[in-house]
Amino acid sequence: MTDRFTYLDAASAEPLHPAAREVLLAAAEQGYADPRRLHRPARSAGLLLANAREVVAEALGVRRDEVLFTSSGTAAVHAGLLGLGSRGIGHSAVEHQAVIDAARWSQRSPVTELAVDGEARVEGAAVREAVRAGDVDVVAVQQANHEVGTLQPLDEVASAAGPASLFVDAGAAMGRLPLPSVGDAIAGSARKWGGPGGVGVLVVRRAARWRWPFPGDEWSRTDQGFTNIPGALAAAAALQAVVAERDEVNARQHELVALVRERVRTEIPDVDVAGPAEDRLPHLVTFSALYVDGEALVTALDRIGAGVASGSACTSDTREPSRVLAAMGALTHGNVRLSLTRDTTREDVERVLDALPGIVKDLRAEAGL
């Protein structure tokens, strides 16, 4: 048993960035009022919100009036996707659950799944095929996959989508990578970049044919409900910091993930490392160990002080295996995803890598292999 805990689940939620912490506290004291009112605290809150919007816009390289804050990344996805098009939806087979849920809920027809290759990459031909008949008028493809890290060929997707609108879920990538140059609406989630939970960002490009898809007045069209102003400001501060340090952090993380890929492949027999070695998110890696129960693997890692996620059926609420792993033909059981935080060290990673072969071997022995 160790006192140290190595948190390797940044792709679910990155710990609050130090740049966000002070801002969150200060803004919580000053940004409580309803910015629509005409008194001084309201003006103060309004200024903080305008500031948050400006910082996010600058960090993403877009205009201020293209930035909306939502109550979560999921809410940004829902509003972004459902605000585009009116007929059918084509989405990649490896989209986040929030996209799948929104497409199903929309009752639009048809809802078409776009095939991916063995590295979870969307094929332009699948997009072209989906929009060819003209009844799919919005295409949803993520910037990068949240489970295996694959970067999607968005330029190719946009060109294949033709006149259809393009929705991009940038949840896994926003802040870490430059905003895609294509996409009519692009959604992100602050807790994935070290902002607080419960803050989403939706970028709606000015030329987009997008409208607010939910009930509400003029105000709720620019911000869903009453914006979490301290949260938005802290999210903005974290985003600004992450963008400023990403060259250094990404290079370090890319190298550590390469180390994980290499050592897992060579030191653990019968392991399937999913996703491409290059053209991927810098901070996450996923692999599956044959004959191993995913839940047992996550629990064993927790016991040695390492926190990871899993896409295996036994670890999910629905008892269904990861749709991403299934779509790319990867092994779905015995799966773990390691995702590095901005201050994960080589020592942290090596400690887990040193323990993994023994853990897998023991679990296989327990299973009678």
Partner 1 sequence: MSAPIVTLDCRGQACPRPIIELGRHLGDVEVGEVIAVAADDVAAHHDVPAWARMRGQEFVGEVEAEDGVPVYRIRRLS
Q: Nearest-CA neighbor of 237 among 29, 51, 84, 109?
A: 51
Rg of the chain, C-alpha, whole Å: 21
Residues 284-313 that bind partner 1 (CB under 8 A): 288, 290-293, 312-313
Q: Which is nearer to partner 1, 37 or 265 (CB)?
A: 265
Note the Cα 19 to chain centre separation in Å.
Answer: 21
Q: Closest separation between CB of residue 345 and partner 1, Å?
A: 32
Task: Name the active-site residue from 314, 329, 351, 361.
Answer: 314
Give how far the C-alpha of residue 247 lies from the chain's centroid of Cα atoms, to the nearest Å.
Answer: 19
Closest distance to partner 1 from the beta carbon of 134 (Å): 33
Q: Is 326 in the site for partner 1 (CB under 8 A)?
A: yes
Residue 33 touching partner 1 (CB under 8 A): no
Our finding on whether 320 is near partner 1 (CB under 8 A) is yes
Residue 164 burial (CB < 10 Å; 0-12/13-18/19+)?
A: buried
Q: Is 255 in the site for partner 1 (CB under 8 A)?
A: no
Does residue 13 bind partner 1 (CB under 8 A)?
A: no
Q: Which of 234, 235, 268, 325 binds partner 1 (CB under 8 A)?
A: 325
Question: Which of 95, 113, 272, 348 touches partner 1 (CB under 8 A)?
Answer: 272
For residues 83 and 168, what is the distance between their CA atoms, to the nearest angstrom? 12
According to CB under 8 A, which one of 123, 270, 279, 350 is a site residue for partner 1? 270
72 binds partner 1 (CB under 8 A): no
Q: From 152, 183, 190, select the one nearest 168 (Cα to Cα).
A: 183
Q: CA distances (Å), 288 to each of 101, 116, 248, 250, 323, in order?
A: 26, 19, 29, 24, 14
Report the C-alpha gap between 340 and 251 in whole angstroms.
12
- CB atoms closer than 10 angstroms to residue 351: 17
> Which residue lies nearer to partner 1 by CB, 9 or 293?
293
Interface residue with partner 1, options 74, 332, 339, 341 (CB under 8 A): 332
- Residue 369 touches partner 1, criterion: CB under 8 A: yes
User: Are 139 and 168 a contacting pair, CB within 8 Å?
Assistant: no
Total of chain residues touching partner 1, rule CB under 8 A:
24
301 annotated active-site: no
Of 46, 124, 153, 329, the one binding partner 1 (CB under 8 A) is: 329
Cα 154 from Cα 170, distance rounded (Å)? 11
367 touches partner 1 (CB under 8 A): yes
Question: What is the torsional sign of CA 318, 324, 329, 331?
Answer: negative
**Is 115 a binder of partner 1 (CB under 8 A)?**
no
Instruction: Considering only the stretches 12-20, 123-131, 236-244, 328-336, report the one whose residues sit in contact with partner 1 under the rule CB under 8 A.
Output: 328-336
Locus of tokens 């679990």:
363
117 part of the interface to partner 1, by CB under 8 A: no
The distance from CA 338 to its chain's CA centroid, rounded to whole angstroms, is 14
User: Which of 92/332 has CB closer to partner 1?
Assistant: 332
Report residue 294: phi and psi, to 5°.
Answer: -60, -40
Binding of residue 330 to partner 1 (CB under 8 A): yes
Residue 93 lies near partner 1 (rule: CB under 8 A): no
Residue 313 DSSP label? G
Enumerate the active-site residues. 314
Give me the residues that bind partner 1 (CB under 8 A), please: 270, 272, 288, 290-293, 312-314, 319-321, 325-326, 329-334, 367-369
